[in-house]
Structure formats: C-alpha cells, structure tokens
Amino acid sequence: MPSHRVRPERAPSTARSRRPAAGTPRRIAAAAALLAATVFAAPVPVARAAVPLQRVASFGSNPGALNMYLYRPAGLPPNPAVVVALHGCTQSAQVYADNSGLTAFADRYGFLLVFPETTSANNAQQCFGFFQPGDNRRGQGEAASIRQMVARAAADYGTDPARVYVTGLSAGGAMTSVMLAAYPDVFRAGAVVAGIPYGCADTVAAAYTCMNPGVDRTPAAWAAAVKDAYPGYGGPWPRVAVWHGDGDTTVVPRNADELRDQWTAVHGLGQSPDRTAAIGPDGTRREQYLAADGSVAVEVDRVPSIGHGTPVDPGTGPQQCGATGTAHFIRSICSSYWITGFFGLDGSAQQPGGLPAPAGLSATGTTDTSVTLAWGDVAGAASYAVYRDGARIATPAGSPFTDTGLSPGGTHAYAVAARDGAGAEGARSAGISATTTGAPPKCWTADNYRQVQAGRATANGGYAFAVGSNQNLGLYNVFTTHTLKESPAGWYVIADGTCP
C-alpha cells in the first residue's frame, strides 16, 4: 500500500465508478472510483493453493452488481450459522478466503461462509462502496445485494436466521459497519477489521478525512447515525467487535475509539471498559463492554506493532490461522480465531463471571434529583457495579447507594452486579425502575424542520442537531421526526419513545 495519499482531484482520468450521483462531474466520479486505491490498495496477491469456493450465479435482483461465492465445509450441519466475509480493495473473494483463516474455523465448527465480491466494473480498485450513498443505505446498491446473498444462503441451506454474522477488512470493514447499521434485524454480530464508523463518509473527501486523521464525534452523534439507518427499529442491536493495528497509518487507530463510542452508545453503555485482558502471542489488548445480562456487547482488540491489515498467525495450532504471502495479512495474532469465538461459533457462550446476581434490588428513596438503591450482599463480592439505563455508573463497596444529579420527574432502569477482587462481574440482578419526584421534563415531538424553527435544534450541512447535546437528528427536512427532551433548561436530547 502506498505510504502517500493521492488527492481525489488528481486521480487518473482512466478510473471509472459505477452509478455516479446525478450532476456529479466526471472528475469527481473518477476520484470516487479511486478512493481506496490511494488508501486501501494492496499489490496483486501472489498465487497460492486456492480454497474451493462455489460461485452462486443468481441471488436476487442484485442492485449492487456484486458476485457471490460460498464456502461450504464438509458435513455442514442442519440450520447452520452463516458468516459474511468482505474483502479489502484490490482483493477478491478468493484472496480473502485463502488468507484470512476463516475457512479453517468453518471446517472446525461447521458454519457457512458467504464471500461477496465487488469488481472493477463497480470500482477501479475493487473496493466496496462504503462511501457512496447509493451503496451504503438499507435497500440500495451493494448493501442490498449483500442482504440478498444472506437470503439465498438461507433458502439453499436452511441457515439459522438468529445466527447471521458479518466481518471484513479495510473497505470491507467499513462495509461491515454499513451492514450492521442498515440491517440490525439481520446480523446478530459483526467484527470490523481496520474500518471506520457508520455514517462517517458519504463523499470521497469525507472518506479521506475519516480514515486519516479520523473524525471525532460524540457517542450520541455516532449512535444517532446508526439509528437513522433503519428508522423505527427498536432493537436488539448487533454485538460488535473492533480489530485495529496500533501502527495503522491508513485507517488510523482513532477509528477504533470512534467505533467503540458508536456501538457502546447504541447499546446504551458507557465508554469505560468493564473488563480488560491481554490475548494471543503478541499481547493484543482486549477491552470489553458488558450488556445488562453480562454478555459482551462491544469489544475492542488493539493489536500492537502492526499496520493496516488482517492479523493472522500461520500455523497448525488451535489458535493459529491464515497466511502472510499476500499484502495486508500481517503475522501477529489469528484474529479469525477470536472473531469466531466472539460470534459464539466455537461452542462457547458469552458468560459473565462466576458470582451470583444480587437479590432484592429496590429503590428505598427518591428526591427530585436522586434515587437510593439497596440490595442483598453477595458472598465473595469485593464491590458492586451499579447500572442505570444500561450504562455502568458506579462501583460502590456495598449497599445502599445513592444515584445523584438526576432530573426531576425522570424514570430510570437500574440493575446491580457483584464484582470479585479482580473486578470480574457476575450476573446482573433483575432490573427495577425508579422515578424521581418533581415535575417531569418537557418533551416535544416534531419533524426536524419544526424543531429547528422552534429553537430546539440547529441546522448545519443539511442535518439538524439538538441544541445543547448536539445530537445528530438526521436530515433537516419535514420527513424526519424525533422527540426532544429539555433537561436542564436549554439542553435538548433525543428521547424517542422514552419521554414521559
């Protein structure tokens, strides 16, 4: 991959991009075609023994003009899980199958692999169109084609609709973000390898900025982009793992932080990890963010001393996989082994620690701005984790605990988990709701145009943003509607379906 970046306006005129937007000058369409050629490109891979893939000629209307390939392990069980694997630029389905190591775990654990493939007819460097509005929206272009591949796999092999997963490298990692946001009802979990958050880029120029130096937005703004991708969807949301090399200068490590912020906020979690550990032969740093039931909702794996690519660890050991003869498959840790485990396809379950859930959680007192909680002691607990609305807010030594700084008339959900001396959490308690006293906050439901006209939001760049919190409300028009809550005075937050 070149170390320099070619500016879009200087891209060669021979580059061609499929379906440029109406009115787009030819030189900008050409730049779009070469976006990842300048930042994601890899040399043509060397020849190697090929993993046997099956081409599927027809899988629907295929609006994104993609190719579909399958890897079916011997002895595929009934109702198997399916993993969609998205290659990087200048790569192909075959290259990704040959080098990522995913097929070894499909053989071992019996799941189906779908390898979508884009072509030079779509993009001069065979990059998925994560930065093109015609391809990164639900029901459109490449995103819709990938969804149709999942449906075809289900029709042909009876795959389990509750066990559909997606992963990808670089431009394929960015497209993984697209699929998780646009189709949260399809994908149970995903793993983004050296990718960017959803909603960061809809243009060539924006994509450059997202990749390097990266874009810093609030967790709430990132989460709003995901939720706007499928309006009206109420969950459950996919679990997400993020893999990123510390030395990546193509898609800088800031993107791992922004992806974490995006998906922890979507899940209603804070941005401080609940568990950390070192994994693999290279000491990859793992951060985990736990859902209310103690399972891992979001995970960030930071791989030391590698640049831009898929981490692999060639060999025959149980935690080894992949090959390094092709650019951007980097010897370090077998990420596919750990991703397979994150998906739960290795037979393991995402379990909390060994301590039991505290019993008897109750709200023993409320004021206008506080809720006091009490619960029963757990033998062996060194401390407790208190969760409000899905986010951990405190780790007191014991009961009781008073949650302060709340708004009058607000209702919140609480749960508590015991922690051992190492900080590992056990199962969370049954949840309760508690409402502070006093008048509830004021709420307004209106389209974005009227929210702006009323002074509860501002418009910038075609989007509306809530005053105070600066949450992205989506397009500034009369078709997008949100409920805004004012608390405190002059500070507005999105409260769709939750405001009294």
Active-site residue numbers? Answer: 170
Phi then psi for residue 388, to 5 deg, are -115, 125
Tokens of 99: 């080098």
**Dihedral of the CA atoms 303, 305, 309, 315 (nearest 10)?**
-80
In 3D space, the residue among 485, 398, 477 whose CA is nearest the CA of residue 440 turns out to be 485
Per-residue burial over 457-490, b = 16 or more CB atoms within 10 Å of its CB, e = otherwise: bebeeebbbbbbbbbbbbebeeebbbbbbbbeee
Q: What SS3 state is found at 331?
A: strand
Neighbours of 405 (CB within 10 A): 7
Q: What SS3 state is found at 234?
A: coil
Look at strands 67-71 and 112-117 and give their pairing: antiparallel
Environment class of 58 (CB within 10 Å of its CB; exposed 0-12, middle 13-18, buried 19+) = exposed
Angle formed at CA 116 by CA 112 and CA 121, multiple of 5 degrees: 165
Q: Contact at 8 Å (CB) between 164 and 150?
A: yes
Phi then psi for residue 85, to 5 deg, are -125, 120
Bin 182: left if φ > 0, else alpha if -120 < ψ < 50, else beta.
alpha
Cα–Cα dist 436/371, whole Å: 7
Q: What SS3 state is found at 103?
A: helix
Residue 374 CA to its chain's centroid (Å): 35
End-to-end CA distance of the chain: 53
Q: What SS3 state is found at 30?
A: helix
Whose structure tokens read 């449906």?
151
In 3D space, the residue among 104, 113, 98, 118 whose CA is nearest the CA of residue 40 turns out to be 118
Cα–Cα dist 386/224, whole Å: 25
Tokens of 408: 């009058």
Tokens of 152: 């075809």
Look at strands 189-193 and 164-169 and give their pairing: parallel
Cα–Cα dist 28/18, whole Å: 12
